[in-house]
Amino acid sequence: MKSNLQYIFDKITRGTASAEEWKNLDREALMALAMSVGAADRGVALAADKASLVADAVMAARTSSSADVRRLRAGLDHEEP
């Protein structure tokens, strides 16, 4: 089962925005998007530090290989919102 943070990461990188839109958002916009997705889709109030983790993972995923993205995503598994 996906953690809430993994779900939010997946939603941002695979579904919320167009294929290119998420790649152009800055860190603050990604944090806001993570908080919005968490509240709307999962019913969780994402703290700023957790939204920051998601934003950092999304930003790193922009230039990472598939294996690196899987590791970044897996790192979100043990974090709770």
- Are the beta carbons of 68 and 38 closer than 8 angstroms? no
DSSP E strands in 1-81: the ranges are: none
Tens of pLDDT along 33-79? 999 999 999 999 999 999 999 999 999 988 888 888 888 888 898 66
The packing angle between helices 48-61 and 27-37, to 10°, is 120
Nearest partner of 72 among 59, 51, 57, judged by Cα: 57
| CA quadruple 27, 29, 33, 35: dihedral sign | positive
| Predicted TM-score (pTM) of this structure | 0.85
